[in-house]
Structure 1
Amino acid sequence: MKRHAKQRGAALLTLLLIATVALAAVLLSAFSGSSSERARELRTHALLAQANEALIGFAATHGRLPRPAPLAAGRATGAATAAGAGEAGRERTVPCATEADCTGLLPWMDLGLQAEDNWGHPLRYSVSPAFTVAPLERTALIASKRVLSRDANGALFFVAGQDVCSLAAQCAPAVILSRGRSDAPGSQDEAGNLLATTDFMQRPRSAEAGAPGGAFDDLLITVPLHILYERMAAAKTLP
């Protein structure tokens, strides 16, 4: 009975996460430009929620989160290289020992997802290295991804995580990122996301170049650690 209750609880939490993302998409779309852009934004928010669920499902089956797919030739940055490249859309073939190695593209083929967001750009994906090795030793693992935003004055604050990620104060195990309408870094904060391996930016959409951090249309979601662990425990893939 306890196991079934936990499974129901984890399922409800996942549904709540998807509903929250959908609500955020609706609220953001109210301030969007054209109706076609609103539609693309809504569909991309839904894709991010679907990718989040697929990552958790992968971990529940395989006992770990997947490694990223390497960035395509010509897209490699300081955050990822073509090392370990295999079939496009598949997770890299060699372990990723560093935050940079564990940052690349979402392995959409392994997850059974569409290849691109609704602007035609591949989703980016960054995962804490220790979470890509099975079995996950949850008493020793530290989730390392942090997400920041800006207040009205441009000051930074944490949306996910804090100054120091630790066993007692965990950050997020993984982040999924859509580059939004423009795949090119058009501002300080967008350029930061393009190069990020641990610290990512999540802000309301803005077309104002003079806004703190510049114009911004990236979309981002984190994998919740407690839901990840609950789903893996229910599937008996977590020691």
Structure 2
Amino acid sequence: MTPRQSHRQTGFTLAELAIVLLILTVLAAALVVPFSARLGAERRDQTATMLDNIQAALIGYAIVHGRLPCPSTRKNPLDARYGEEDFDAATSNCVISTEGMLPWRTLGLPAFDAWGLPRQAEADPWTGYFRYRVDLGFSSTQPGAKIRANTAYQNKIKVVDHAGNEITVSSYSGSEVLKNTTAVALVYSTGPDLTTSGANASYEAGSDATYEAGDPSTTFDDMVMWIGRPLLIARMAQAGAL
């Protein structure tokens, strides 16, 4: 007797394959969201560390040089002074009194945040590069014009929260003005969306400006660091630089 041959199919049916693919798709989607969140958190932590290092470098620069550096304004990556501070030798002031880029080469720091990309040509966007603003009263390059305990503000660079409430104090005037905590220097990252958010997108173009800081939200993801006058004076005094 010869054994009866079975013609039963041992593979998956189309319906079974479809179910397996559906399950794999659901599992993959469940893994992608946490991974994306972890990556975003890591980049935010990296940028926060960079901003801490920038604050330390700016204070250190002021201790050594008696002033804060000017913003960088060179746009051409091939320029020999690209990434360095720009000041006007004729006026002993910064070339600009408004927002520029962090002078990363002057400070020996990275040029951009964890989301940034290096520029190769003058027309390239400033993707992720740190923005920088400084009070002209604390950045003069005039010989002998060093920061002192009584150095006064020339600008009003204040910081507000998402509701427009002042985080830094700018209400003192007259003989009390030195109590103000408005920023003498401010640096910020444009965050993962690579564009300015909130008040940072429409800051005043003159010597006075209002910037926004706070927790990230669906409409705000900038990361802002500033140095108030009291902090700078205290650190310079501790270092014996006043």
TM-score (norm 1): 0.67
Contact 1:105 1:122 in 2 (8 A): yes
Aligned residue for 2:166, secondary structure, equals strand
By how many angstroms is 1:137 displaced?
Answer: 3.6
Match of 1:148 in 2: 160
Q: CA RMSD in A?
A: 2.8
- Secondary structure, aligned partner of 1:199: strand
- Asked if 1 retains the 8 angstrom alpha-carbon contact of 2:180 and 2:229, the reply is no
Aligned to 1:191: 201
Larger Rg: 2
2:7 corresponding residue in structure 1: none
Answer yes or no: is 1:158 the counterpart of 2:166: yes
Q: Distance in 1 between matches of 2:228 and 2:131?
A: 17
The one-letter code matched in structure 2 to 1:206 is: S
Is residue 116 from structure 1 mapped to residue 109 from structure 2 by the alignment?
no
The SS at the match of 1:55 is helix
| Cα pair distance change 1:175/1:167, threshold 3 Å | same
Query: What are the Cα deviations for residues 94-126 of structure 1, in whole angstroms up to 9, with x where unaligned?
Result: 24469x524211111111111111011110111
1:103 paired residue among 95, 99, 104: 99
CA contact 2:94–2:139 (8 Å) conserved in 1: no
Instruction: Please say if 1:72 is aligned against 2:75.
Output: yes
Distance in 2 (CA, whole Å) between partners of 1:195 and 1:38 is 32
CA 1:188–1:237 in structure 2 vs 1: closer, same or farther (change >3 Å)?
closer
SS of 2:167 mapped into structure 1: strand
Compared with structure 1, are the counterparts of its residues 181 and 104 closer, same or farther at alpha carbon in structure 2 (3 Å cutoff)? same
Q: CA 1:220 to 1:156, structure 2 compared with 1: closer, same or farther past 3 Å?
A: same
Across the two proteins, how many residue pairs are aligned to each other?
A: 183
Q: Indicate conservation of the 8 Å contact 1:61/1:235, yes or no.
A: no
Cross-structure match for 1:38: 41
Alpha-carbon distance in 1 for matches of 2:221, 2:186: 16
Q: What are the equivalent positions in structure 2 for 1:147-226 lying under 5 Å apart?
A: 147-150=159-162, 155-163=163-171, 166-185=177-196, 188-192=198-202, 198-207=209-218, 215-226=219-230
Identity percentage of aligned residues: 28
Partner Cα separation in structure 2 for residue 161 and residue 169 of structure 1: 5
Q: SS at the partner of 2:161? A: strand
Structure 1 gap ranges (5+)? 1-31, 74-84, 208-214
> Match for 2:102: what amino acid?
L
Structure 2 equivalent of residue 88 of structure 1: 82
- Name 1:29's counterpart in structure 2: none
2:236 corresponding residue in structure 1: 232
Query: Which of 133, 141, 163 does residue 126 from structure 1 map onto?
Result: 133
Cα offset, 1:206, TM superposition: 1.4
What SS does structure 2 have at the residue aligned with 1:34? helix
One-letter amino acid of the counterpart of residue 124, structure 1: R
TM-score, normalised to structure 2's length? 0.66
Q: Which amino acid aligns with 1:171?
A: T
**Which stretches in structure 2 are left out of the alignment for 5+ residues?**
1-34, 117-127
Paired letter, 1:160: T
Whose relative contact order is higher, 1 or 2, with alpha carbons under 8 Å and at least 6 apart? 1
